[in-house]
Structure 1
């Protein structure tokens, strides 16, 4: 094996697959390398976790032509309610106020993958190399190269979309900054006693942020942050004990919690790559920024990377310029840097501020949340940002084809 491509994407998860679909059909020679067999049941990212898609992400998927394969399994979020356990402050966001059909949607990663992978496999200008594990990666003046067990691949542009533990990012020496939260997220699908009404609940508890997001089949997706030392004990509870523990922290807004599905946990940290480009290489998605799930922005931020990168690459290609030239990639980075940095810092601020139980701090944040409820313009600005509709939007984020 010794193939040459214009664009070579490492990672067949949600960001990598979306980028390949976005770049297809424009005369580029595309390759995608994935360590696992490229099947929904085989790629680790395509599991039963509930993924919160912003309204902007729905626009991107619509423009890519894959939303029709997903929307039947995607539950709309029409209302978001934010509160703190034991506090008096609360605020809400509502789709009607924003004049959109939904603020976002919740879909399992498995159903999202089931919408992406058939589209990926139908692309005539894409070589899928899977299962294949990258052994090394190098960048030279005129090309990027990766090594596989079976041989070598070359490309004008190498895109690392291989997750938070990205080997390509490490091999190419991208600087990374990391914060450890010493927390883990426990995820499960829960059936409440009352209809969820397409509402998402963000509850800041003494044990950490807890989100219950509306899903199909009258279920809710639970994302509950707990201290690392408590994970084993919480996961060892039987189903009724687990539901009772959730109930004590969440309250009775959805009635008595009835059933819980398979539980899983994963450690939480924040990873950020300040400079995501170098000559002939770029990192996107979780390889560029891995976030705490408190605001549900991780995948949406990565999908906006995809939309902007595809537009910059194709603009350069149409003007007969080298899409992997550092000048082109710098334009992409300058476009994305403010959004990436803003979401990284805002997410960390939320985690830190709601982890502080010092009484004056708790009082101040409750007053702040209550003040937000009384200021519709401020709520509107937050809603636009959460929906991925602020700043300079790529064509895909406006629902327009490339």
Structure 2
């Protein structure tokens, strides 16, 4: 490989960028990795202990994602504040159709987990501080050009502009920074003409570690168990789909009226809604990039594909893609090739493409099918939900998608950094 300031520069130090940096440090430690992050970072600023906040934003991690974090040596720390999902209940409001998934049916400890984003970020940062990963923070990647060394990346920090050379640029800063478009990538957008309202809620009945996927005539909603990892509590993470008009009306309501409106939409499976926390919201759009790689540059995470949040597949899909990319970078270093070699990046895309196509189809079809209200369509989907319970093969396929084990598993070889899986976990992995 030609000489450059760094081998891989990652634009964005959020969950996707930080996970990629940690995976490269574990799996391909010979690569020099630099992360450019817009927020200032300091080891002194990391708290010694974590105190969960009621209003913390969270992410649903599938069982397959747990296996990846185990491979990276992160799960033992991450699991301290990871609420297990032991059952998933999928239903259609006002209709008889429903299906239920239970971790015990698949001999798993859980179908997935709910983890606060801030806790996940702290765990990643603590691990990364023990690696040779370099940080440019606060700094933002604003441009890239091909160079003799590979790529020349332009960084902006305050009013200061600088350039650094790298073998490969990884865009992991989401889809809103504009860097993706500035580099010439062409995303496709499908506007669902809906918004996601995100908040934590409390209910009079315990969630019993159950996640609810509830489809209503006004749009889908999800309730994920949140809080203690060991005691079934009364707090859940809400994803509520609303039209523009409904969102405006709900946001203007006092909390008691918000709870009442939520009660009308969700029902009484968790008893009475007693509290709703800080509400965040954003418009819902399915975004994909058909060709997310070019010589010397690749898009990952939300920069490559952003999904509807109700199915909880977005970060899990991104995580599998990151590990596929790391797998190809490891092979490149063993072969003495540049990580920015287009053949290396194209091979990553070819391996990851079937997974993201299947996951996008799975997530999008749920929204489209359950977003239609005509009686024949409603009857057909209700019969389908009942059929999932009656047909073991169909239900297992649905479960594999929900648990994030239906996609390709990257072949990862590390010099002794992974946590040793239990006998049960080895059997599960072999079965998958």
TM-score, normalised to structure 2, is: 0.87
Task: Tell me the CA shift for residue 323 of structure 1.
Answer: 2.1
* Structure 1 equivalent of residue 119 of structure 2: 111
Structure 2 partner of 1:21: 22
Match of 2:82 in 1: 74
Q: Could you say which residue in structure 1 is the equivalent of 2:427?
A: none
Give unmatched runs, 5+ long, in structure 2: 47-52, 420-432
2:73–2:418: 8 Å Cα contact kept in structure 1? no
Q: Which of 334, 358, 383 is matched with 2:374 structurally?
A: 358
How do 1:105-184 and structure 2 match up within 5 A?
105-124=113-132, 126-140=133-147, 142-149=149-156, 150-184=161-195
Deviation at 1:345, TM superposition (A): 2.1
Structure 1: unaligned runs, 5 residues or longer = none
Query: Match for residue 294 of structure 1?
Result: 310
> CA RMSD, aligned part only?
2.2
Task: Tell me, yes or no, if the aligned pair for 2:142 and 2:179 is still in contact at 8 Å.
Answer: no
User: How many residue pairs are counted as aligned between the two chains?
Assistant: 395
1:266 aligns with 2:269: no
Q: Specify which of 193, 196, 207 is matched with residue 196 of structure 1.
A: 207
Q: Are 1:7 and 2:8 matched, yes or no? A: yes
Alignment partner, residue 49 of structure 2: none
Which stretches of structure 1, 4 residues or more, deviate above 6 A after TM superposition?
Answer: 397-400
Tell me how far 1:166 sits from its aligned partner: 4.2
Q: Does 1:314 align with 2:330?
A: yes
Bigger mean CA offset, 378-387 vs 133-142: 133-142
- Secondary structure at 1:24 match in 2: helix
* Structure 2 Cα separation of the partners of residues 286 and 48 of structure 1: 20
Change (3 A) 1:400 1:352: farther
Query: 1:228 aligned to 244, 250, 253, which one?
Result: 244
* Whole-angstrom distance in 2 between the partners of 1:16 and 1:212: 27
Aligned to 2:92: 84
Q: CA deviation at 1:100?
A: 1.1
Q: CA deviation at 1:171?
A: 2.1
TM-score by length of 1: 0.93
Query: In the TM superposition, what whole-angstrom CA distance separates every residue of 1:85-104 from its partner, at most 9, and x where no partner exists?
Result: 11110001111111111100
Alignment-derived partner of residue 33 in structure 1: 36
What CA distance in whole angstroms lies between the structure 1 residues aligned with 2:384 and 2:417? 37
Could you give the per-residue CA deviations for residues 235-277 of structure 1, whole angstroms, max 9, x where no partner exists?
Answer: 1111111111111111111111121211111111011011111
Cα distance in 1 between the residues matched to 2:330 and 2:178: 26
> Mean Cα displacement is larger for which, 11-20 or 378-387?
378-387
